[in-house]
């Protein structure tokens, strides 16, 4: 399937806005994704206003792509709307808890990927911003997200102004297991990651960051334990603030 | 985009197996999805063996679709493989924490949706099994999933043996917000859910369960607070067992 197989992340966009009818058509395709019990417990906040995008940018660590894209889509787990509907219909909603958050997050993420596929099918380019969960509290404030909602990912969207090549992937056998999980031997790991380690881009990362191995670029520079622990605590705090950590005990 | 817009959930499959080459091609399209830092921190466990599928079925509450489908795909957040690679390369992995779990879950879910789109594009049918997170502990045991992995969703896959119609969705404006989240008035909620409430299938649910409103079918029968609290506690326990809740404090 060409649209899926040719996916590349786009970080430079033309200034041309995305036509509202096209955007609606893409978002509609998103909403056709499966959701738990067909409850559709997600919302999508569309940001096109330049000032609002500037307001969001620090929450995405001012990545150039966050400012450069004409559209930001914030995919949000949302049990607020559904709970309101319950309350209005003599039903007591019970969704202030972790499994409900995760259910809503799944809904939001499947919709997000459908939206990306639809966008690329129409010649648009996309970039996922993984910063969303790191700075959920700030995004919640900027987008005025109420209790029982939580932003899980953001997609930057627009007409591509670059044409990058396909990026590397592990061999298929590296991510697939048959019947049960077969844990990896050292020899297998070496084989699976050999191509990634051989790439010039990776070797440049190693050199630029004065590291010995590509793995160290990930552990010491890009995804450090200290940061991960900080953002883990923060995300759990924000889940609590948003009303998603009620406990039975 | 027809493949996306015509998606329906399939719960009855032909006994015809899915050809291994076709399955590989679909899974390959899955792996072209974006992942955080291109780390690909997910694994897919493919279950086709009938005995293994029977072993998995109780973890999916013996839903007929779990036994009826010739293929079950368990999409698993996986920092085990990546961490092994780090350790082998003089790098100290720091992924035993909640944000790393959630990052890996996002990776796994975007891949899952790509796999579903590719499958439907090839004439196959799919059904998501939301039971995966409820019974993650049992699935971990059956599939021998190691520490730093966690099953986030399962897709039942095969050739469709039914032809259901499109299911209802909220109007697009009901899930989209412009520039910021606009909270819903009671009048808006009534308007958005009017179609869902009017459907015969929903009214039958209400009658069968001796309820007064459709919302009560969700809160009192299908997604009850008591169950949600039980499965929330359980999921958090299993995340801890799998090594994903290390804290800085």
How confident is the model over A1-46, as pLDDT tens digits? 799 999 999 999 999 999 999 999 999 999 999 999 999 999 999 9
Set of chain B residues whose Cβ sits within 8 Å of the Cβ of A6: 32
Q: What is the structure's pLDDT at B243? A: 98
B215 contacts A229? CB cut-off 8 A:
no
A215-230 residue pLDDT tens = 999 999 999 999 999 9
Mean pLDDT of B209-214: 97
A108: pLDDT strictly greater than 70: yes
Which of A102, A83, A105 has the alpha carbon at shortest distance from B228? A102
A106 contacts B220? CB cut-off 8 A:
no
Q: How far apart are CA A221 and CA A209, in angstroms?
A: 8
Nearest-CA distance from A55 to chain B in Å? 11
Q: How far apart are CA A3 and CA B29, in angstroms?
A: 9
Which of B11, B228, B4 has the alpha carbon at shortest distance from A41? B228
Chain centroid to Cα B211, Å, comes to 28
B121 contacts A37? CB cut-off 8 A:
no
3-state SS of chain A is: CHHHHCCCECCCECCCCCCHHHHHHHHHHHHCCCCHHHCCCEEEEEECCHHHHHHHHHHHCCCHHHHHCCEEEEEEEECHHHHHHHHHCCCCCCCCCHHHHHHHHHHHHHHHHHHHHHHHHCCCEEEEECHHHHCHHHHHHHHCCCCCEEEEEEEEEECECCCCCCCCCCCHHHCEEECCCCCCCHHHHHHHHHHHHHCHHHHHHHHHCCCCCHHHHHHHHHCCHHHHHHHHHHHHHHHHHCCCCCCCC
B28 contacts A172? CB cut-off 8 A:
yes
**Phi, then psi, of A157 in degrees rounded to 5:** -140, 140
Mean pLDDT of A59-79: 97
Nearest-CA distance from A17 to chain B in Å? 15
Distances (CA, A) of A144 to A96, A138, A242: 19, 10, 12
A5-16 residue pLDDT tens = 999 999 999 999
Rg of chain B over Cα atoms, rounded to whole angstroms, equals 20
**pLDDT band per the 50, 70, 90 thresholds, residue B216:** very high
**Residue linked to tokens 């969001």:** A56
Of B33, B90, B153, the CB nearest to A216: B90
A155-196 residue pLDDT tens = 999 999 999 999 999 999 999 999 999 999 999 999 999 999
Q: How far apart are CA A95 and CA A63, in angstroms?
A: 34
Question: Which residues have C-beta within 8 Å of that of residue A63, sequence separation ≥ 6?
Answer: A57, A129, A131
A66-75 residue pLDDT tens = 999 999 999 9
A45 contacts B181? CB cut-off 8 A:
yes
Q: How far apart are CA A105 and CA A157, in angstroms?
A: 20
Question: Residues of chain B with pLDDT > 70: what percent?
Answer: 99
User: Furthest-apart CA pair in chain B: how many Å?
Assistant: 63
Residues linked to residue B126 through DSSP beta bridges, in sequence order: B9, B157
Set of chain B residues whose Cβ sits within 8 Å of the Cβ of A81: 174-175, 184, 189, 192
Q: What is the structure's pLDDT at A59? A: 98
B248: pLDDT strictly greater than 80: no
Instruction: Answer yes or no: are the C-beta atoms of A213 and B91 closer than 8 Å.
Output: yes
B70-115 residue pLDDT tens = 999 999 999 999 999 999 999 999 999 999 999 999 999 999 999 9
Tokens in use for A60?
A: 């995405």
Q: What angle do CA B75, B147, B42 make, to 5 degrees?
A: 30
pTM: 0.98
Q: What is the structure's pLDDT at B44? A: 98
Q: What is the structure's pLDDT at B60? A: 98
B8-35 residue pLDDT tens = 999 999 999 999 999 999 999 999 999 9
Nearest-CA distance from A19 to chain B in Å? 14
Set of chain B residues whose Cβ sits within 8 Å of the Cβ of A23: none
Q: What is the structure's pLDDT at B247? A: 79
Task: Look over chain A and give the mean of its residue pLDDT values, rounded to a whole number.
Answer: 97
Q: What is the structure's pLDDT at A247? A: 79
Pairing of strands B176-178, B125-129: unpaired
Q: Kindly identify which residue of chain B lies nearest to residue A221, measuring between CA atoms.
A: B91
Nearest-CA distance from B13 to chain A in Å? 18
Nearest-CA distance from B207 to chain A in Å? 15
A46 contacts B95? CB cut-off 8 A:
no
Q: Which of the two residues, A201 and A139, has the higher pLDDT score?
A: A139
B249: pLDDT strictly greater than 80: no
Task: Look over chain B and give the mean of its residue pLDDT values, rounded to a whole number.
Answer: 97
Which of A231, A208, A205 has the alpha carbon at shortest distance from A218? A205
Set of chain A residues whose Cβ sits within 8 Å of the Cβ of B89: 213-216
Q: What is the structure's pLDDT at A248? A: 66
Distances (CA, A) of B149 to A100, A113, A231: 21, 22, 19
Give the right CATH number for B2-165 from 1.10.10.10, 3.40.50.720, 3.40.50.300, 3.40.109.10.
3.40.109.10
B32-49 residue pLDDT tens = 999 999 999 999 999 999
Q: Where are the domains of chain B?
A: 2-165
């Amino acid at each position: 399937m060409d649209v899926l197989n040719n996916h590349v992340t786009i970080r430079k966009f033309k200034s041309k806005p995305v036509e509202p009818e096209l955007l609606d058509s893409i978002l509609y395709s998103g909403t056709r994704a499966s959701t738990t019990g067909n409850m559709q417990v997600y919302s999508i906040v569309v940001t096109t206003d330049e000032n609002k995008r500037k307001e969001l940018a620090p929450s995405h660590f001012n990545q150039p792509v966050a400012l450069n894209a004409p559209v930001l889509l914030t995919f949000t787990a949302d049990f607020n709307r559904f709970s309101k509907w319950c309350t209005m219909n003599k039903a007591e909603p019970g969704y202030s808890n972790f499994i409900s958050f995760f259910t809503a997050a799944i809904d939001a993420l499947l919709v997000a990927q459908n939206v990306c596929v639809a966008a690329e099918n129409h010649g648009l380019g996309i970039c996922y911003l993984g910063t969303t969960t790191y700075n959920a509290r700030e995004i919640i404030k900027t987008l005025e997200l109420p209790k029982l909602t939580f932003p899980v990912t953001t997609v930057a969207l627009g007409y591509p102004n670059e044409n990058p090549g396909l990026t590397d992937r592990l061999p298929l056998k590296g991510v697939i297991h048959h019947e049960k999980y077969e844990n990896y031997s050292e020899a297998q790991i070496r084989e699976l990651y050999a191509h990634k380690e051989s790439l010039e881009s990776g070797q440049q990362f190693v050199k630029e960051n004065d590291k010995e191995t590509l793995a160290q670029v990930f552990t010491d520079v890009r995804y450090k334990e200290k940061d991960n622990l900080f953002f883990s605590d923060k995300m759990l705090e924000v889940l609590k603030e948003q009303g998603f950590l009620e406990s039975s005990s």
